[in-house]
Chain A
Amino acid sequence: MKTILTTSALALIAPMALADEIRVLNWQGYGTDLDWAIAAFTEATGHTVVHDYFNSEQEMLTKLRTNPGAFDVVLINSAFTPQAQGEGLLAPIDAAKVPNLADIDPALATNQDLNPGGALYGVPWTWGLTSMAVSTVDFPDGPPNSLDVFWDPEFKGRVSIRDDALEAVQFAALASGRNINDIGIDDLDAIKAELTDLMPQIATFWSAETDWNQNMAAGQFAVATYWSGSAARSISEGLPVEFVVPVEGAIGWLDGLSIPASSTKQDAAHAFIDWMIDPEFYVRWETEGAPATSNTAAAAALPEDSFNRKVLGDPEVVARVQFMRPVADETREAYLALWQELKAAQ
C-alpha cells in the first residue's frame, strides 16, 4: 500500500519539479501576456508565467537594477540592450535552447546592438516604425506622403507628436533629412528651430494609445506620429486612420527578448522566448494587431492583406527606415533639456 502511495506521490511531484514559474517583465498588453499564448505555453511545457509591467524604459532598467533574481524574461529595446549588458544585467542567449532562432532574419539576428561584445544578448522579437498616421476624414483623396504636412498651416492646432524628448528630436531630424543617430551640436540648433516652428501646430502631445485613439476618434487630430503596431491595432478596431511611411522615412525600433543574468530559471526562460518567436504564436497575434516579426518564416505565413505585410513588407519602404541606435545618458539629458525648454515656453 505504502509503495503504491509513494510511487503515485512521486509521479505527481516529478513533473512539478521540472515545471518553473517564470516572471516576465514587459509593457502591458504587448504580446507576452496574451491569455491564450500563456495557456498554450503552460500546456506545452508545464511552466507557468507571471507578468510584471513597466511604463517607460527607464523604469524597466530600474527594475532590473534593483530586483536581482526577480525576472526571467525581459523585453529590452535594442537601443538599450548595450547599456543593460554593459551593466552586467544580462545573460547571453544559448542558441541551442531557442530552435526558432534559425528562422530569424539574419540582418536582425546580427544586429550590432543586440550583440554587444560579440555575443547575442537579446533575441530579435518585434520591430516596427514610428511614422505618421492621418485621419482619413481629413484626407479623403489619399494621405500626404511627406512629413511637411506637420508644418502645414492648414492643420494648425490639429497636429500631434508624442511627449518624448528623444522622439521629438529624432522626428525633427528625420523631417530635415538628417541622420537621427548622429546629431551634432550645430544640428541641435537647427532642430530646435524646426521644433519651435512645429509647436504652434500642435494641439496636444499624445503619450499612449488611449489618448491617441480617443483624440483621433473625436477629430482633434488630423495628422499625428504613431507606432506601426498600434496603428495596425487601431485600424483593425475600426478607427478611420491610415498609416504612412513618408519620403523622408521613418524611425525604426527593434525589440528584443533578453534574460537577466540573475535569473534562476534560464531554461524555462529560453523555452518561453522560443514560443514568442514561433510562427504559430505570431500569426495569431498579428490578427489582433501586432508589430512586425523578426521571424522570416512567421512573416511569410501572414495573409496577403495583413497590415504588416502590406506596409512593412515593401523593401522600398524598409530602405527609408532609420533604426534607433543607443543614446548616451548625457545626450538624453541634453535632448530632455531642449524639449523641456520648448514646452515651458508655450
Chain B
Amino acid sequence: MIRQTLARAYLALILIFLYAPIIVMAVMSLNASQFYALPFEFSTRWYERLFTNREILSAAWRSVWIALVVATIATTLGTMAALALWRHDFPGKRILQTLLFPPIAIPWLITGTAMLIFFFGIGIGRGTPAVILGHVALALPYVIVTVTARTASFDRALDEAARSLGARPFTIARRVTLPHAAPGIVAGALFAFAVSFDQFVVSYFLAQPGDTTLPVLIYTAIRKGFTPEINAVSTIIIVVSMALMILAARYARFGGTK
C-alpha cells in the first residue's frame, strides 16, 4: 500500500536526520586527525588512548550511575505527583502546574549558581549528594509533564468506576492506572536519565573537582582542545545503550496496552 511505503520512508528520513551527527561522531572516533579534519583516515588510536585515560573512564562511569539513581528517584516522585494531579481537582492545582516551569525556563546557569550558593549556605556544599539533589530537581518537571501527557488521555470515569465497585486504591493503581500510564512513565524515566546524563551546568557547579562527570569533563576540555577520545567514549556509550535497549525490547512490553 502506498501509504505504508510513504510512512516507512518518512520514518526512515527522520531516523537518518536523528542519527546523522551520531554517525559522524562515531566515524570521527576512528579518524586519525585530532583536529577532526577530513579527509578521513582510519585509526583506532583514540580508543587505545581512551582505555588508558582513567579520568574519562571514571567520569563516564560516574555519569551513568548518577543518571540511574536520578532516573529512579525522579520517575518515582514525578509519577506519584503526576497521577495525583490527574486524579484530583483542588484549589491551587494550577499554581502547582505552573511551578513546574521555572526549572526548565530559567537557564541552568542561573539555577546552577543559585543551587551552589544555597547548598553551600545550608551546609550541603558540593559533592555527589548535591549533584543528585540538583539533577532530580531538574528532571522532575520532565517526568511530570510526560506522564501528564499520557494520563490526559484517560478517562477518570474508569478510575471512579473501579472505586465505586469497592476496589482499594492500591489495587486500582496496580491494575488500572499504572498499566495505562506505563508508556508515559517509561518515557519520563528515559527523559530523566537523559537530562541527568547530559547535564553539564549544575554538575559543573556542584561536583567535587576530583569526582567529575562526563559532560563537565568534555566541556572543560574544550579550553585545551578536546580530542576524539571523547568521540570514542560517546560512541561506546551509544553502542552499549543500543544493546541494552534491544535487550529491553525483546523482554519487556511497555509500548503500552490499550
Interface residues of A (CB under 8 A from B): 27-30, 50-53, 55, 66, 207-211, 213-214, 216-218, 233-234, 237, 239
Contact = CB atoms under 8 A, between A and B. Distances in A.
B221 interface: yes
Given A55-B220, A213-B35, A214-B35, 6 more contacts: A28-B224, A29-B221, A30-B224, A208-B225, A210-B224, A237-B35
Contacts of A50: 209-210
A216 B37 CA distance: 9
Contacts of A237: 34-35
Contact of B209 (A51, A55, A209, A218): A51
22 contacts: A28-B221, A28-B223, A29-B224, A50-B210, A52-B209, A55-B220, A55-B223, A66-B120, A208-B224, A209-B222, A209-B223, A210-B222, A211-B222, A213-B35, A213-B225, A217-B35, A217-B36, A217-B37, A218-B37, A218-B38, A234-B225, A237-B35
Interface string B27-50: 000000111111000000000000
A29 B226 CA distance: 11
A209 B36 contact: no
Interface residues of B, number: 18
Q: Which 7 A-B pairs have the closest CB atoms?
A: A29-B224, A217-B35, A52-B209, A209-B225, A217-B37, A210-B222, A208-B223
> Chain B contact residues: over half helix, strand or loop, or mixed?
loop
Contacts of B36: 214, 217-218
Given A217-B36, A218-B37, A239-B35, A53 B209 contact: yes
Contacts of B210: 50
A214 B37 CA distance: 7
Given A50-B210, A55-B220, A210 B226 contact: yes
Contacts of B117: 66
A226 to B, nearest CB: 12
